[in-house]
């Protein structure tokens, strides 16, 4: 269980860092790859707003990834860090489920993200019950 938990943790965190940084600098390419959307087909103000907000959210994704890699030990030993990490990760899963309910079916890759993130939340939660410091 430890190996799988850490594989999901590091896979998630490294993807946050890489995808976050990539999205900040290559947002338009990201839109084409992930969403099959060319922002140049949108009105200029709409494209600028969409791409700008996307870059901002990808920067937050990068920041959460950096936080998670820097405080990886604390995430598995400190109740406060553990709660912050797991609640943020779980809220991302909830956001994907809300989107499924209200926005419809996404491209298949997003189901993979959902399944992997949900598995990560569950396994990290279960495993970290053993590693948290007793207070």
Cβ contact 21:62 at 8 Å: yes
Give me the pLDDT at residue 135, please: 62
Give me the pLDDT at residue 134, please: 77
Other Cβ atoms closer than 10 A to 126: 11
**Cα–Cα distance list, 105 to 33, 39, 69, 110, 111 (Å):** 17, 21, 32, 9, 9
Domain boundaries, the chain: 2-131
Token pair listed for 76: 């598995």
Q: Which residues of the chain have pLDDT under 50?
A: none
Residue of 75, 64, 85, 92 whose CA lies nearest to 128 = 75
Angle at 11 between CA 75 and CA 109, to 5 degrees: 125
Give me the pLDDT at residue 133, please: 82
* pTM (2 d.p.): 0.92
Cβ contact 13:69 at 8 Å: yes
Cβ contact 88:64 at 8 Å: yes
């Amino acid at each position: 269980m430890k190996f799988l938990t850490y594989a999901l943790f590091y896979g998630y965190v490294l993807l946050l860092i890489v995808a976050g940084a990539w999205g900040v600098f290559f947002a338009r390419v990201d839109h084409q790859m992930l969403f099959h959307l060319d922002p140049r087909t949108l009105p200029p103000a709409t494209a600028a707003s969409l791409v700008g907000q996307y870059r901002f959210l990808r920067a937050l994704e990068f920041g959460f990834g950096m936080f998670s890699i820097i405080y990886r030990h604390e995430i598995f030993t400190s109740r406060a860090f553990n709660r912050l990490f797991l609640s943020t990760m779980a809220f991302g899963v909830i956001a994907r489920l809300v989107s499924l309910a209200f926005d419809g079916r996404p491209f298949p890759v997003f189901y993979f993200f959902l399944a992997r993130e949900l598995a990560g939340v569950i396994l990290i939660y279960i495993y970290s019950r053993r590693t948290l410091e007793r207070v």
